[in-house]
Amino acid sequence: MKSDAFVESGHRKTLEVIVSNQNEPGAKSLGPKASSSSQRIDSQLAETIGSVDNAPTLSLTHDSLTIDGYSRAAVQTYWRIAEMKLGFDLGAQPWDFMALPRFMVSHAHLDHIAALPAYVARRRMMKMEKPTIYLPESAVSSVDAMLKCFSRLDRGRLPCDLVPLTANQEIELSRELVVTTSATKHSIPSLGFIVWERRRKLRPEFVNLTGDQIRDIKLSGTDVTREIRIPLVAYTGDTAPEGLDNCPDMYRAKILITEMTFVAPDHRKEKIHKHGHTHLDDIVARRNDFQNEIVICGHFSTRYNDTQIKRWVDKALPDRLDGRLKLWLQ
């Protein structure tokens, strides 16, 4: 059963997507728990930094995770996973996103980093700890120079840690969460990210032993558990389809956030791919690859209005990937 509902307040809209298979044995309703968690986070933030509605935001709740943000090509892109205290891209910065201690930037196009100086300055103004910003290695020196320029203009410090990243790196967020990077294909150097949950599980060879036996083996210095990883959230940023194809784990993440910049049937895919973007037809061609529970597509070109986008998508994918495809439209 799927329930979609929009709630609008000023610029902010909430798309509450509660996915539940309550007729299946052992199934749980995943939406309300995450929604109440998000509300608690928002309430705490309001008490600390106030509540200012300065940028449009859509929100989706799935499996105890809240994804909110906005993405439109050449306008602005920004995302937040509140429960992970993690953001992706800074084309703008909704006021309450300020509380996030770290952002991962996919690439240095202006609609993805324009708000980076403001984010750093606002955290300083609110006497928060300096944030950590992860970004492609090739962009670090230019972003550092940009921040120094704004610091002179603003006559204020812009303290932050800029961490250079390349493909196939691993960043530890906590004991339970780790992020891996992958190369995507865009017109400038760009990266995709996967957030993994880490768990420890008893090794198969010890499963049939008693508790005392396992304890004795553990006391002898043998590790009786192994690490398993579950891909929770994947984010591609702007990319041609190669960015997905070259990292199969993107297709396995519970939630995939990707782009569908072009949807019109007459737009040339060769040119679209050359400039590092994805067409609706690319999603259709890969419909059997998506193992994700939720596929969020955004970053639509401004040459289309919302009605056109929905019409073309519904013609090409009338079932919207069995209801898993969510178009990030207001």
pLDDT at 41: 53
Where do the structural domains in the chain lie, given as residue ranges? 166-330
pLDDT above 80 (res 151): yes
What is the C-alpha to C-alpha distance for residues 45 and 39, in angstroms, rounded to an integer?
A: 10
pLDDT at 155: 95
97 pairs with which residues across the strands?
none
pLDDT at 297: 98
Return mean pLDDT, the chain. 88
% of residues, the chain, pLDDT over 90:
74
pLDDT above 90 (res 243): yes
Averaged pLDDT for residues 33-62? 72
pLDDT at 35: 47
Q: DSSP labels for 245-302?
A: HT-GGGGGSSEEEEE--B--TTS-HHHHHHTT--BHHHHHHTTTT---SEEEEE-B-T
Lowest mean pLDDT among 104-113, 215-224, 275-284: 215-224
What is the C-alpha to C-alpha distance for residues 163 and 154, in angstroms, rounded to an integer?
A: 23
Report pTM.
0.85
Helix H or strand E encompassing 78: strand 76-81
- The tens digit of pLDDT for each residue in 154-212 reads 999 999 999 999 999 999 999 999 999 999 999 999 999 999 999 878 788 877 878 88
Homologous superfamily of domain range 166-330: Ribonuclease Z/Hydroxyacylglutathione hydrolase-like (3.60.15.10)
Strands 177-183 and 170-172: antiparallel
Q: In one letter, which amino acid is 306?
A: D
What is the C-alpha to C-alpha distance for residues 319 and 325, in angstroms, rounded to an integer?
A: 9
Lowest mean pLDDT among 38-47, 57-66, 101-110, 232-241: 38-47
% of residues, the chain, pLDDT over 70:
85
In total, the chain counts a number of residues equal to 330
What is the C-alpha to C-alpha distance for residues 168 and 241, in angstroms, rounded to an integer?
A: 18
pLDDT at 8: 35
What is the C-alpha to C-alpha distance for residues 207 and 187, in angstroms, rounded to an integer?
A: 50
Our CA angle for 282, 84, 71, nearest 5°, is: 40
Residues 3, 17: contact at Cβ < 8 Å? Answer: yes
What is the C-alpha to C-alpha distance for residues 276 and 132, in angstroms, rounded to an integer?
A: 27
Which two tokens mark 282?
A: 């690319």
pLDDT at 36: 55
- The tens digit of pLDDT for each residue in 83-122 reads 999 999 999 999 999 999 999 999 999 999 999 999 999 9
Q: In one letter, which amino acid is 15?
A: L
Q: How confident is residue 29, by pLDDT bands cut at 50, 70 and 90?
A: very low
